[in-house]
Amino acid sequence: MIRLNRMTDYAIVVLGALAHKRGETIATATLAELTGLKQPTVAKVAKILLASDLLVTQRGVNGGYRLHRPAGSISLVDIVEAMEGPIAVTDCVEGAADPCAVTHCCFMAHSWNRVNLAIRDALDAVTLEDLTDPAQLFPVRVTADKTANKGEYADHDQFKGGASDVARLN
């Protein structure tokens, strides 16, 4: 199973909280309150993100962290690679620190890099801004039709039968 580790998940939560603050410098204690994470966890995640140039820090009384660049220019691949290293489903990918011992006789070795690149491209297509604004990630076409009974507007795409179906839900 392909799965992000817990610290990567926490990093996305911390970055999301900072994205909502739109350039404000936020203290570690405040980030812990905003995210529900323990302060040492926030500090550990922030240290890694700082080293990866995803965050900048400000010292002093009003010190804390803020995003190094706009949320729309931070992709999921940036975050995952900062927290976990290069994206690799298997050890036989280009640049692997500990390459697979059977690569020389494996007929699949050349194909795995394509899989890794596809995963990387998919993660690169999603930004932190997309994650903090679900409408960006999953745009929904909403059409407004007046319902027969209540004069309210509803998303009609899911009700193919018309206003009477919407009215039954009210």
Instruction: Decide if 52 contacts 46 (C-beta within 8 A).
Output: no
Distance CA 145, CA 155 (A): 8
Instruction: Decide if 111 contacts 33 (C-beta within 8 A).
Output: no
Indicate the pTM of the whole model. 0.72
Of 99, 79, 78, the C-alpha closest to 88 is 99
- State the DSSP string of 31-51: HHHHHT--HHHHHHHHHHHHH
Q: Which residues pair with 155 in a beta bridge?
A: 144
pLDDT at site 23 = 84
- 3, 25, 95 from 17: Cα distances, Å: 22, 11, 33
**Per-residue pLDDT in tens (0 to 9) along the chain, 170 residues:** 578 899 999 999 999 999 988 888 999 999 999 999 999 999 999 999 999 999 999 898 888 999 999 999 999 999 999 999 888 777 666 555 666 777 777 777 778 888 888 999 999 999 999 888 766 556 555 555 544 444 444 444 443 444 433 333 33
pLDDT at site 95 = 58
pLDDT at site 53 = 95
Q: Which residues pair with 26 in a beta bridge?
A: 65
Q: Which amino acid is at 108?
A: M
